[in-house]
Structure 1
Amino acid sequence: MRKAGGGAIVDVNSIAGLTAAPGLAAYSSSKWALRGLTRTAAKELAPDGIRVNAVHPGIIDTPPAYGPDGRELVPVDDFAIPRMASPDEIADFILFAASERARFATGTEIVADGGFGLGPMS
């Protein structure tokens, strides 16, 4: 990227890097650490024209979102957007962060959580 004159790095983090995740101490702490890495890399690489941003997805409709019984591990009915994200929806955020359209952003965290961080609607 340095030889090319710049570029973009997008870290895929998690909403677990923004809030407490009971029962997921190791996972959550690794996601909090990634936040620090993202911001440090953004500062270190900025002089080389390399942007570093993070996307924090919420619950994505993929196999890890379901238990062995097929039930949702995190019920989404009470989110502001009461459903899981599709992988394509999260990919759109990642593509945006990597694109020239986000050329003025570095060290930024894009939250794509369907309103999870707002807390329950009721």
Structure 2
Amino acid sequence: MRKVCVITGGGSGIGLATAKILGEKNDVIIVGRTAKKLESALDQLRTLGISAEALECDISDRSAVDHLAAIARSRGTITAVVHAAGMSPHMGDGETIMKVNALGTINVNESFYEVMEEGSCIVDISSMSAYLTPGFILPKRKYKYSRINIEVFMKKMMSRVNLFPQSLRSSVAYGISKHFVIWYAKMDAAKFGQKGIRVISISPGSFETPMGELEKDEVNECLKHSAIKRLGRAEEIADLIAYCTSDKASYLTGTDILCDGGCVASGYNPLKR
């Protein structure tokens, strides 16, 4: 059987950089919302001699993700899933961001749990915003409903988001959803571990990506407080992701890795700008 790596959000940025590294030893399936964006990425990968395929998928739709997982399994043994797809506060309203970032993570983990085998790994991409969002905003005690009833979970998440003015809801939804990703990956570690599968989350800081460009003002403010006074390169975090999916990290699971150039360590608080 061929070895297959699935990368959501693989059309650009961190996802595409990761595909270029994992594609050196695996077939790669990049996943995104639009065919046009994926075609450009696919051309880049094939130019490098990588065996790559592009599939469209709305990760907020469970049936679509189930279908994606089934196709990926038909291509070979899935060695890694890198769930890098997500939306920033500049890309949609609060509810849309919550559906893509939080519900999308649930869907990807649940669907691929059914088709992955011992020795494989899921990496869920979060954000340093999970660390910078003040605790009083985060409905941590409500995260448990993601394991009980998805509709109730979404209602409780949006109830918290909707407490804030309209102008802040996208940012609040982003912070909550990314904090949830870390929680969910940790909670999944034991379940996946029963099948010999590892689950890790990684929280990037400010990187040179299309999404980072949309958040230019916020990024510049973060850089003032970072220990390393530059943006991260997509290849730098792609190397970290690749290591986490490799056999060299076979004892690593149930944890989050913050890669932010030292911004969070500075004690930076966005609310005090």
- TM-score tier after normalising by the smaller chain length: 0.7 to 0.9
Identify if the C-alpha distance between structure 1 residues 39 and 82 changes in structure 2 by more than 3 Å, giving closer, same or farther: same
Tell me the percent identity: 30
* Pairwise CA distance, 1:73: 3.2
Task: Find the aligned partners of 1:30 and 1:6 in 2 and give their Cα distance.
Answer: 28
Tell me by how many angstroms 1:3 deviates: 6.5
Q: Does 1:28 align with 2:28?
A: no
Q: Using the TM superposition, give the Cα deviation of residue 106 of structure 1 relative to its aligned residue in structure 2, in angstroms.
A: 0.7
Could you tell me how far 1:108 is from its partner in structure 2?
1.4
**SS of residue in 1 equivalent to 2:230:** coil
Unpaired runs of 5+ residues, structure 1, are: none
Going from structure 1 to structure 2, the CA distance change for 1:78 and 1:16 (only over 3 Å counts) comes to closer
Residue aligning to 1:94: 241
Q: Is the 8 A contact 1:79 1:120 kept in 2?
A: no
1:66 matched residue in structure 2: 213
Q: CA deviation at 1:5?
A: 2.5
- The match for 2:124 among 3, 11, 16 is 11
Distance 1:67 1:45 in 2: 35
Q: 1:66 to 1:103 in 2, by over 3 A?
A: same
Q: Output the TM-score relative to the length of structure 2.
A: 0.40
Give the letter aligned to residue 47 of structure 1. Q
The structure richer in helix per residue is: 2
Answer 1 or 2: higher relative contact order, Cα 8 Å, separation at least 6: 1
Question: What CA distance in whole angstroms lies between the structure 1 residues aligned with 2:116 and 2:230?
Answer: 43
* Residue 7 (structure 2) aligns with: none
CA shift for structure 1 position 16 = 1.1
Q: CA RMSD in A?
A: 2.4
Structure with the greater alpha carbon radius of gyration: 2
Cα deviation digits, residues 52-89 of structure 1 (max 9, x gap): 00111001112332359xx5432114310011111101
Structure 2 residue ranges without an equivalent (≥5): 1-77, 79-114, 138-167, 269-273
Q: Which deviations, in whole Å up to 9, do the C-alpha atoms of 1:29-54 show, x marking residues without a partner?
A: 11111112101111111111000001
For 1:49 and 1:66, how far apart are their aligned partners in 2? 38
Q: How many residues align?
A: 119
Alignment check: 8 A CA contact 1:66 1:73 kept: no
1:4 deviation in Å? 3.7
Structure-2 change in CA distance of 1:39 and 1:3 (3 Å):
closer
Correspondence for 2:261: 114
* Distance of 1:61 and 1:36 partners within structure 2: 26
Contact kept in structure 2, 1:67 and 1:73, CA below 8 Å = no
Task: Give the C-alpha shift of residue 113 in structure 1.
Answer: 0.4
Aligned partner of residue 31 in structure 1, secondary structure: helix
